[in-house]
Homo-oligomer: A and B are copies of this chain.
Amino acid sequence: MGVYERQQKEKKILEAAIHLFSEKGFHATKVDEVAKKARISKGLVYFYYKSKEDLYMAITKKGVDELKEIFNKAFGKPKEKTGLEVMTDLAESYLSFARDKKVFHDAILHFLGLLDQYQVDKEKLNPLILNSQYFTKLVQSHHDLAKLGIKAISTGIKDGSIRPDLHAESTFYTLWSMMIGYCRISGSVSLEPGEIKINTESWKNGFIKLFFEILKGSSTPSVSQPVQGKLF
């Protein structure tokens, strides 16, 4: 069996797992089901992935890779876009990704939690996770991701499309935080009873406004921001 066929099979398993994890979550999904969905035997799943956790790490890796791909695309051809435009596309892509590929986004956040725990007390981490070949790879990939975001802001600062007084790194992480938090709670905002004057739509607008004010400054809040039109 060639390398290609093997990769195809790996992919098949991954897709089955992604589908089921999306549907029911990691815990509720049984390896048996993944095998059935991929139309192979349970044993073969374990032939390709050392454990259920390894499989999840593989999914996480795929998630980070897809996101990296998306980020790279946002940059477009060199000099084609201003840094702010790139950031706009980045934000837009990110939120679409978080919405449409929830498993991936959740997996990435879960991975960030692992990194946290890794520093606090490595011993407490599930060894099945720690031993996953994908775990190590993820550390690098996730780093690449952050670099892309930071690069976008740096570019914007240089080309004047983003406020010059910003610190690229901390700004990126702050904006990322905003988006993560937004994804986390946007779903529940629409439940707010009438008493609170907000709905998904109005919050989205408010959120976007503040998001870009951070990049451009709030000195000209009245100026129209056409570039935002692309967002969401």
Q: List the interface of chain A (C-beta within 8 A of B).
A: 27, 109, 112-113, 115-120, 139, 142-143, 146-147, 150, 163, 165, 167, 169-171, 173-174, 176-182, 184-185, 187-193, 195-198, 202-203, 205-207, 209-211, 213-214, 217-219, 221
Contact among B146, B150, B163 for A218, CB-based, below 8 A: B163
- Cross-chain pairs A/B with CB under 8 angstroms, 7 sampled: A116-B187, A169-B206, A176-B185, A177-B177, A177-B181, A180-B180, A214-B218
Cα distance A197–B115 in the bound complex, in angstroms: 18
**Chain copies in the assembly?**
4
- A118 — nearest CB in chain B belongs to which residue? B191
Most buried by B among A146, A188, A195: A188
Do A207 and B173 touch across chains, with their CB atoms under 8 A apart?
A: yes
**A167/B219 in contact, CB under 8 A:** no
Question: Chain B's nearest CB lies how many Å from the CB of A191?
Answer: 5
Nearest CB in chain B to that of A117: its residue = B187
B residues within 8 A CB of A187? 112-113, 115-117, 119-120
Question: Do the beta carbons of A192 and B146 come within 8 Å of each other?
Answer: yes
Cβ-defined contact, B119 with A190, below 8 A:
yes
